[in-house]
Amino acid sequence: MTEDVHDGATLRAALTEIAGNFSFSWTPGARQLFAELDRKRFSELLHNPTALLSELTDGDLGRALTPEYAMKLGRVQERLEAEAERPTWWDAREGRPDGFLVGYFSAEFGLDESLPVYSGGLGILAGDHLKSASELGVPLVAVGLNYFRGYFRQRLDEGDRQVERYPRNDGARLPLTLVPMAPTVELADEAGNLVSVRIGVSRALVGRISLYLLDTKVEGNPEWARDVTNTLYGGDRLNRLRQELVLGIGGVRVLRRLGLDPSVFHMNEGHSAFFQVERMRELVEDEGLDRDAALERLRASTVFTTHTPVPAGNEVFDPELLRPNLAPLVERCGFEWDEFVELGKVHPDDAFGMTPFALRTSAFANGVSKLHASVSREMWHDLWPDVPVDDVPITSITNGVHVRTWLGGDLEGMLGTNTPRLERAFDLSDEDLWDAHRGSKARLLEFISRTRGAPGLDPEALTIGFARRFATYKRAGLLFSQAERLAALLGDRDRPLQILVAGKAHPADDAGKDVIRQVVDFARGTEHRVVFLPDYEMTLARRLVQGVDVWLNTPRRPMEASGTSGMKAALNGVLNCSILDGWWAEGYAPNRGFAIGGEGDPRAQRTEEEQDADDVEALYAVLEQQVLPAFFERDERGLPPRWLAMMRHSIAELGTEFSTNRMVREYVEKMYLPAHRDLAAVLAAV
Ligand SMILES: *Cc1c(COP(=O)(O)O)cnc(C)c1O
């Protein structure tokens, strides 16, 4: 017993160290170390290693420490050490300028299911950006918000209506370290008086990268101020504005307290754009520049990534809401209030838009796929009325995903556990590749039967996955809009088909909630051939993108700026079947997956109804004539040869091209280093 306790304390120290860095989320074997301690509890705790450790006694841990467990622990520790010592891409790069540091700001970060401060693709992209920056060794520091109640949990009531629950994030049970400092941000109270609001700061480690998460739940702050960082995208416009002031202005002040001076600032979407005001104030007040020189310096050193053509995603604020909060700061920058407001407008009657403001104050701007960049150039052409639309300065860097986070265990084992080499997929035998895929599929079915109460799924059936936010433009209902045709496919006993659907509707989106209800209603009549899986989050996403056969995506082109879940599927050999929108317009080739409809002309005038009607026709044609035949065409070994060939191309080619390792390298070469050099040039000219 005492020996158990002694061993337990030693094991706790080792596991606490692993749990204290989000590298556990991509290091093979690391998460399993915690799962093995108490599988059921670990699953209930959303795979939160720190929380699990806090519930186990040293005695419990001591008993878990079998020789076999010790060996697994040793392997994980070796991997972490090897990773820390490995020379990185950045280390080996010629030309690493002095003082190069990127400050990366985002309103959400999706690092792991256990830290639910993300709501979807934007956050997970930011998380994957940090993971790849760590892997590549790029000097980068990240800033975000620490929401007290993060991403909501979803369940359905008896009427199949989405019900949201917002569990609290308990800081003591998260691998966050409090940073002892309390910078302040001035926020206007209800009477319009500025109040100094104190900011709490916690640090998360993401491999080599530090992420600083800010909150206002600090003692001494008035009640309304403490609530500012309560929920992700929660509250009214005023609260959202306050969150963005905390992120942008507070974020710069936190970096300064840490003694950090990024040479390049990157805003991942416009939510953080207020950091420009604080940076400008520093240049004017602390460095004595005049307003225009300060603006030039800001622009030269700022990168802005726009993420959506959906109007609601491009935030605007009533200038009168901004004024009491920002006017004093803006004045210190040498701006008249009205001049400042102009920076956020395209047309005179517009409200203050974060995207125009971000575009006007960044010399480097990009969309997240080639198609999206071209749509963005058109969308914001009025900001540069004198240049042809193709010369609007918004370039493209296509999104990616972090391979080591999303690649399934069996494939990882075959492609290289420490640094997976996806092109090795071409060397795998048909049998090995199919076995690996079937293993992932079995694990998915086991997982959803255990966690989502959905038994009765068929491992032999062609399994289609459709999981994403239920935003209107994503058209989750498209497949279900031809009920008879779908029923015919689902009733074919020779070619069994099943469809797994998951996703959350925005809490205020009643239309999205109605679509969920229609899907669930349809599913009820299909004897488990269509199943809605509640509570889509990163664990379910990981299982789905590794274990289904086909990843379906039917957005209304060109509204899907990039999409990233299809990339996660592709690198696992799950074939995409998608509208040629976002990344798939670049990634698709007939030997890598399936295209629904054609490229079309994005400027062609079709009503949404016409577009939906064309697309649903094309969707059924591709399912009936391409997807089902290819999957059920079997050779004498019972394997689908054409399908397996496509899986290889998908893994080796799409997996490499649409990785955040490629994406971050592109940000470094096309944006960060040029911005760093431009700033140096501006400084040299002074
Ligand atoms: C990857 C991911 C997303 C983004 O998927 P899209 O294809 O961009 O819609 C959203 N939510 C979760 C949980 C994810 O893992």
Reduce the DSSP state of residue 103 to 3 states and report it.
Answer: strand
Nearest CA to ligand 1 atom 8: 563
Per the prediction, the chain carries an average pLDDT of 95
| Residue that is written with structure tokens 């293993």 in the block | 439
The answer for residues whose C-beta is within 8 angstroms of residue 312's C-beta and 6 or more apart is none
Closest Cα to residue 501, out of 460, 453, 468, 543? 468
Q: What is the DSSP pairing of strand 177-178 with strand 200-206?
A: antiparallel
Nearest CA to ligand 1 atom 5: 565
DSSP string, 215-271: E---TTS-HHHHTTTSBTT-S-HHHHHHHHHIIIIIHHHHHHHTT---SEEEEESGG
Residue 269 region, left (φ>0) first, then alpha (ψ -120 to 50), else beta?
left
Report CA torsion sign: 513, 515, 516, 517: positive
The model's pLDDT over 296-336, given as tens digits with 9 standing for 90+, comes to 999 999 999 999 998 888 899 999 999 999 999 999 999 99
Q: What share of the chain is helix, strand, coil (3-state, %, to 5)?
A: 50, 15, 35
> What is the per-residue pLDDT for 311?
83
Q: Give the pTM.
A: 0.97
The model's pLDDT over 423-462, given as tens digits with 9 standing for 90+, comes to 999 999 999 999 999 999 999 999 999 999 888 899 999 9
**Cα of 564 to ligand 1 centre, how many Å?**
6
Are 667 and 404 in contact by the 8 Å Cβ rule? The answer is no
Residue 161 region, left (φ>0) first, then alpha (ψ -120 to 50), else beta?
beta
Domains of the chain: 2-85 (no CATH), 90-144+232-400+664-685 (3.40.50.2000), 403-658 (3.40.50.2000)
Closest Cα to residue 273, out of 195, 358, 199, 342? 358
Nearest CA to ligand 1 atom 9: 468
Residues with CB under 6 Å of ligand 1 are 120-121, 124, 468, 536-538, 541, 563-566, 568
Task: Extract the tokens encoding 473.
Answer: 């433009």
Position 48 pLDDT exceeds 50: yes
Spatial separation of the C-alpha atoms in residues 289 and 634, rounded to whole Å: 72
> What is the per-residue pLDDT for 145?
97
Peptide bond into 324 cis (omega under 30): no
Spatial separation of the C-alpha atoms in residues 285 and 645, rounded to whole Å: 62
Are 567 and 399 in contact by the 8 Å Cβ rule? The answer is yes
Ligand 1 atom with the smallest distance to the CA of 503 is 11
**Cα of 320 to ligand 1 centre, how many Å?**
35
pLDDT band, very low/low/confident/very high, at 419 (cuts 50, 70, 90): confident
Minimum mean pLDDT range among 174-183, 246-255, 305-314, 387-396:
305-314
Spatial separation of the C-alpha atoms in residues 669 and 685, rounded to whole Å: 23
| Residue that is written with structure tokens 């210190």 in the block | 332
From 118, 401, 402, 468, give the residue whose CB has the most ligand 1 atoms within 8 Å, as the site to mutate. 468
> What is the per-residue pLDDT for 2?
60
Nearest CA to ligand 1 atom 1: 565
Nearest CA to ligand 1 atom 3: 121
> What is the per-residue pLDDT for 387?
97
Ligand 1 atom with the smallest distance to the CA of 119 is 11
What is residue 231's DSSP assignment? B
Position 601 pLDDT exceeds 80: no
- Residues 394-418, mean pLDDT to the nearest whole number: 94
pLDDT band, very low/low/confident/very high, at 3 (cuts 50, 70, 90): low
Spatial separation of the C-alpha atoms in residues 663 and 668, rounded to whole Å: 9
> What is the per-residue pLDDT for 681?
85
**CA triple 644-646-652, angle to 5 deg:** 100
pLDDT band, very low/low/confident/very high, at 111 (cuts 50, 70, 90): very high
Are 536 and 467 in contact by the 8 Å Cβ rule? The answer is yes
Spatial separation of the C-alpha atoms in residues 581 and 478, rounded to whole Å: 15
> What is the per-residue pLDDT for 1?
47
E strand or H helix that includes residue 340? helix 337-342
> What is the per-residue pLDDT for 212?
98
The model's pLDDT over 158-203, given as tens digits with 9 standing for 90+, comes to 999 999 999 888 888 999 999 999 899 999 999 999 999 999 999 9
Please, what is the angle between helix 237-245 and helix 319-332, to 10°?
20
Using a pLDDT cut of 90, give the percent of the chain over it: 91
Are 422 and 652 in contact by the 8 Å Cβ rule? The answer is yes
Spatial separation of the C-alpha atoms in residues 502 and 480, rounded to whole Å: 14
The model's pLDDT over 133-154, given as tens digits with 9 standing for 90+, comes to 999 999 999 999 999 998 899 9
pLDDT band, very low/low/confident/very high, at 603 (cuts 50, 70, 90): low
